[in-house]
Structure 1
Amino acid sequence: MATMSRGQILEAAKNGAAVYFDKQIELLRRMCSIDCGTGEVEGNAKIVEIVLDYLHEIGGLELETIDAPDLGKHIVARYRPETPKGKLVMCAHLDTVFKPGDAAAYPFHIDGDICYGLGCVDCKGGVVMSSTAFRIAKEAGMLPDQEIVMIYNCDEEIGSPSGRKVYEREAKGATAAFVCEAGRKENGLITFRKGSMKAKIECFGKAAHSALAYEEGASAVLELAHKMIEVEAMNDWENKVFYNIADLEGGKNGVGTVADYAACNVSLKPSSEVEMAEMEARFKALESSCHIEGVTTKVTVTTSFPVLERTPANVALYEKIRDIGVEFGFVLPEQRTPAASDGNFLSHYGAPTLDGFGPYVYKMHAIDESMRLSSLPERTMLTAAVIASL
């Protein structure tokens, strides 16, 4: 990169964000018109085509697509200088939580400073923001002597079962990772996210005719009801640690039969690696309690996302970005959130990680998903300036 003053970097970033704002809106409009919920392979293919076309237009990138069976494709775009002196990873995801037909039913539109569209902020806004920030830095001649990798995966909304392998690969040697999930609250940046685990509780009883031989049966449904009350009692309202129960099943043979099977899933949100182990042990202990004679219980605990812990490396990265933001006139407070993201993987695999780089969210995972429109150029110029300042 040619030597540029901080003022020149900031001016180039600001001008570039203004130049490409209309292009970003065009990309968002096209992307939000496509149904691309996780597993919508056809929709993912359309989104991938749009993003790859834009990355080709930017130029100077090695482009890779990675197949994720039954999910679609991940995109990895790589800028590689001759002698890189570090590595920056930026990421966002291509999938949404919405079902087929929703994109047409709830179309993209703009009302003043509010932009509406399914996935506009979670996380298509992060895709167009990060790629355009790279473009601005490239065209202004202010890319650092660092390898820059942009990862756009297709399965974040279900815990990145395929995408996490890409993050593990690219976190190696990374000196910084920017996660372009939505900005929130006071427009800050995120150094901590809780992890995400799931406990499946299965109860196995004995079927019997509910009128002729009720006493010979052992109701798995009734045992599960007791187990759910035990789970509810684990909630810690003071420290805001909650266990959400969902996906109930059981008694499929109807009221004429004592149910021999019942199950539910429970959401667990640990705040540390230690707490992850404690939660798993607490739920496994449910296997040893029995309220209905003849019923056995099995608990299976799986991890969707590790914890994004507030490590010294993550805090040091935040402080550097916060100071650059001040020069733009942006106050970027340090924040934490209970929801997980792919940043949890990047930090877990060793990359100093900062989350919440994307546009400012009003609503997400809702049919009126929306963002503050003016935050798109704000975050684009901030990210372009940060890239140039690494």
Structure 2
Amino acid sequence: MDNNALKPVLEPKGFRLLNELGSLGPYSRELGEKLNAGLRSREVAPELVAAVLTQLQLREEAKPKFGEFAAGMLFTRKGLEQATRLVVAATHAARFRHAGCHKVADLGCGLGAESLAFAGVGLLVEAFEIDEATAAAALMNLRAFPEAHVTQADVTALNWADLRASGVDGAFADPARRDERGRNLQPEQWQPPLSAILALREEIPNRNLGVKVAPGIAHESLPADCESEWVSVDGDLVEAGLWFGTLRESPGRTALLLEKDGHVRANLRDPEDSGDPATVARPAKIIPDETALGAWLFEPDAAIIRAGLVAHVAQLTETASVSTGIAYLTGDGPSEDTRKLGAWFEIEKILPFDDKVLRTEFKARGVRSLEIKKRGAEVSPATLRKRLLPKADPQGEDLVLIVTRLAGRHRTILARRG
């Protein structure tokens, strides 16, 4: 749905129809077909029918990010893809509260997810969005907070003297990081470019700026005066953020691991970190050969890996890397405290990376499902699974095959999830 197609549901009549149909239950293709036929038989305008059905579909897709709030919101496809999950936006709002901020400028607010979190903890909000229809959708999404203001504007052309005079003492920016080819990892090709956003530090009281960036951003691109935080939700890496001024709670690189409900699994920083996010991560201890492999293999949470905290977590878990540059660790097994830091696999057997050997092994054992993981090996898990297990055994075992390097040699590890 482009932004012009959003306009029919921005009108009161369209929004009422959307909410009326949204009460019928979870959206599905079958329900959409029935609603489409029913609405057209009532001679509802085709553009309104299309807008309503698209919104119902997007609301369903938005549930993992917005939960029950999705049922009352408006979305665009691009806006939903870039929108922050509410449990993560809540951690952003908490930073501004802890920093003593009272009024936050949401720069490039999109559909208003961050502004919802800010307003929800009592912060005043001045939100800005360059696209007219998206700004209108954000205003609709913020209707429960009439004190939150949404303005259509280019965030690079704001009058900061006026904003400071109005009480703005913090800002959050979420530059557009997608183009027609998908995600763009080049910060200077974002809209606005990262350098233009970072220049705003000098305009904001106490340099209180937070910036959402791509999780894959290169460490060497990170400014020395920020805290760089990587965030995962239930093990999925969802974002990275740069925090400046009094919003910077820890120097260097950090990892925040959240549950789906927003509870914190872990908040990690390497005490041996220099404090400069651009420095090279220190390496973990490496096993000398595959005979030193422990009984378990540990894959740290993706936020830990991207934050360059593998060596720190290896110390916490008393594990060592299986090979140079490989983020698989091995040791005696998880404790209650370390289990939450990633995925653990109980090792059963080490095998050569040879299709014939592996097929023979699986045929002898009987395998119902085969999960394939890889690091340090150029293989397609889906293609490899078809080669190794063309037919599953319904009465067989559930196994994990890990393709990686052990002390520099390509090997496979047969394991079970712990």
TM-score scaled to structure 1, two decimals? 0.26
* TM-score calculated relative to the size of structure 2: 0.24
Higher relative contact order (CA 8 A, sep 6+): 1
